[in-house]
Amino acid sequence: MGIIGALVALLRAVPSLERLFLKVHDQLREAKAQRRYDEKLDKIDTAIANARGGGMSDSRVSGTEWSLDVDRTPAVSSGGTVRARVDEGSVEKSGGTGV
């Protein structure tokens, strides 16, 4: 523990060395976090590829194709005309309290 204490004391005595070591430490930590993040994204990509039927293949080769055709039927039917109305009745006419 004496060597680490001496190293810390030296770094604190020379602020530029302390900043350098802190910057190196931060960069190593960020690189490690980025590597873990990339590994997680790769796992997600693999899971999606497996769920789609094994691997990311070109849709023209496999025969399946995603289509966003403009002629497809809409998800919500467009039946009947619905218009908003304003109720012009008043509290006095209805005899109510308005609550």
- pTM of this prediction? 0.42
Q: Which two tokens stand for residue 27?
A: 């960069």
Tell whether 49 is covered by a domain. yes
Structure confidence by residue, pLDDT tens digits, 47-83: 999 998 865 555 544 555 555 555 666 566 555 565 6
Tell whether 43 is covered by a domain. yes
Query: Are 16 and 9 contacting, i.e. CB atoms less than 8 angstroms apart?
Result: no
User: How many domains does the chain fold into?
Assistant: 1
The residue among 1, 35, 7 whose CA lies nearest residue 21 is 7
Tell whether 62 is covered by a domain. no
Tell whether 48 is covered by a domain. yes
Tell whether 27 is covered by a domain. yes
Tell whether 36 is covered by a domain. yes
Query: Are 14 and 22 contacting, i.e. CB atoms less than 8 angstroms apart?
Result: no
Answer left, alpha or beta for residue 69, where phi above 0 means left and psi between -120 and 50 means alpha: beta
Tell whether 81 is covered by a domain. no
Query: Are 10 and 3 contacting, i.e. CB atoms less than 8 angstroms apart?
Result: no
Tell whether 93 is covered by a domain. no
pLDDT band per the 50, 70, 90 thresholds, residue 13: confident
